[in-house]
Amino acid sequence: MRLDHLPGDVNLTYCTNIHAGESWSDIRASLDAHVPAIKAVVAPDRSLGIGLRLSGEAAASARQPEALAAFRGQLAALGAYVFTINAFPFGPFHGVRVKEQVYLPDWRSAERVAFTADSAAVLAAVLPDGVDGSISTVPGAFKPNGRETGAAASMAAKMIESVADLVAIERHTGKHIALALEPEPCCFLETADESIAFFETVLFAPETLDLLAARIGVTRGGAETMLRRHLGICYDVCHGSVEYEDPVAALDRLLAAGISVPKVQLSAAMRIPVMTNKLIGALMRYDDGVYLHQTIVRGPGGLTRYVDLPDAIAAFKEGRADGEWRIHCHVPLFLADLGEIGSTRADLEAVLAALRRKSRSSHLEVETYTWDVLPDNLRTGSKAADIAREISFCVKELAG
């Protein structure tokens, strides 16, 4: 189905982190290579929204005036617009070992603040009038780093710097952009409840609000208003499913706590209702050596978290990981059957049905980025054709 079946205030796209390329020239070339074929299927008669993934290198290059002018021309030629940026992975995201390095630099680092500022400058320059912008980012840090003494306060202070930048952008350009922390298994923020606790106990603490108030010249109350306006959560349905959350309830808990959800990433994880020895071989096909496949096992004693799939398999062989398995691997949305291994698509369908009944975020982004490492039987066509099928599946569910 086409995007014109959706309400006018819904921006639905896919994330270009599916395309390899770290330099700005490579990223622009990938848009020319893939967007026309996708647009022809899902948005032949309207502008196609793009979820732009920028590396640190690309963001610094793209914000230069000549580069921005050329990019605006490219978007016009493609019949496309950018409303959201994925500024999560700073460095290479394809073809090399990514694993836990994807979280670096984390939110304790000035480099993360600079990367976010570069991405915001690009988005502000190309964001259409009357459309809000969003930037998804690391959920603080990898869990062990986020537990270090003083890490939470340090991350909050750096986030305040970025919020102040976004406030300044809106004051100068009229463009509203929100930064969205993306909870992920085995990270500082990995569940909706952890996210709410961080906002309420650290970000909304008087000392944090006073930092922002001093930077933007408002009262503490004004700072809280601006913080809520420019910082929220990017809810990835795959991540929530791996955590055994009810994604719809999680979204509603965030919003009830006054925490915005600038973007929802539409995705599904791998699911094994009951792990068996016969499934080990099938699972190991997904041990690609590129991405972390955090695995959470629900057994008689509750949830047990494993940082990567090989860790979980080793524990299972030792008799310590019996039960249901959910694995952080973004699998195709339009496939109801993945063969020996199932998926959490039912959770995604529930989210899409809930969004159909009531808006919870106007930015929806398909985030299946694993095509290059999926087994051959899960690849059904060209990458552009598969992306179009993903988007069409979501449109059909949203349109009812």
Residue 78 included in any domain: yes
71 and 127 in a single domain? The answer is yes
168 and 283 in a single domain? The answer is no
- Work out the percent of the chain whose per-residue pLDDT is above 70: 99
196 and 310 in a single domain? The answer is no
32 and 146 in a single domain? The answer is yes
pLDDT in tens, 124-140: 999 999 999 999 999 99
112 and 36 in a single domain? The answer is yes
pLDDT in tens, 22-60: 999 999 999 999 999 999 999 999 999 999 999 999 999
Mark out the alpha helices in 127-219 (DSSP H runs): 143-146, 151-173, 192-198, 206-216
pLDDT at 378: 73
247 and 173 in a single domain? The answer is yes
pLDDT at 94: 61
Mean pLDDT over 378-396 rounds to: 89
On average, the pLDDT of the chain sits at 95
Mean pLDDT over 336-355 rounds to: 93
As given in the structure block, the two tokens for residue 122 are 């690009």
Residue 138 included in any domain: yes
248 and 393 in a single domain? The answer is yes
Residue 379 included in any domain: yes
132 and 44 in a single domain? The answer is yes
168 and 287 in a single domain? The answer is no
Note the pTM of the prediction, 2 decimals.
0.97
pLDDT at 97: 77
pLDDT at 195: 98
280 and 381 in a single domain? The answer is no
Residue 243 included in any domain: yes
Mean pLDDT over 213-232 rounds to: 98
Q: How many domains does the chain have?
A: 2
142 and 288 in a single domain? The answer is no
Looking at 291, 308, 329, the residue that finishes a domain is 329
264 and 274 in a single domain? The answer is no
Task: Yes or no: say if 231 and 179 are a contact pair by the CB < 8 Å rule.
Answer: yes
Crossing angle of helices 383-399 and 24-42, rounded to 10°: 50
Mean pLDDT over 152-180 rounds to: 98
pLDDT in tens, 250-296: 999 999 999 999 999 999 999 999 999 999 999 998 888 888 999 99
Mean pLDDT over 74-88 rounds to: 98
Helices (H) and strands (E) in the chain, counts: 15, 13
pLDDT at 250: 98
pLDDT at 285: 86
SS (H, E, C) 236-296: EHHHHHHCCCCHHHHHHHHHHCCCCCCEEEECCCEEECCCCHHHHHHHHCCCCCCCCCCEE
Burial code (b: 16+ CB inside 10 Å, e: under 16) for 27-36 equals: bbebbeebbe
Residue 95 pLDDT grade (very low, low, confident, very high; cuts 50, 70, 90): low
Distance in angstroms (rounded) separating the CA atoms of residues 208 and 364: 30
pLDDT at 98: 76
Mean pLDDT over 145-170 rounds to: 98
Task: Yes or no: say if 240 and 347 are a contact pair by the CB < 8 Å rule.
Answer: yes
- Segments forming the whole domain that contains residue 324: 270-329
CATH number for the domain harbouring residue 112: 3.20.20.150
Residue 337 included in any domain: no
Check pLDDT > 70 for residue 78.
yes
Distance in angstroms (rounded) separating the CA atoms of residues 364 and 42: 15
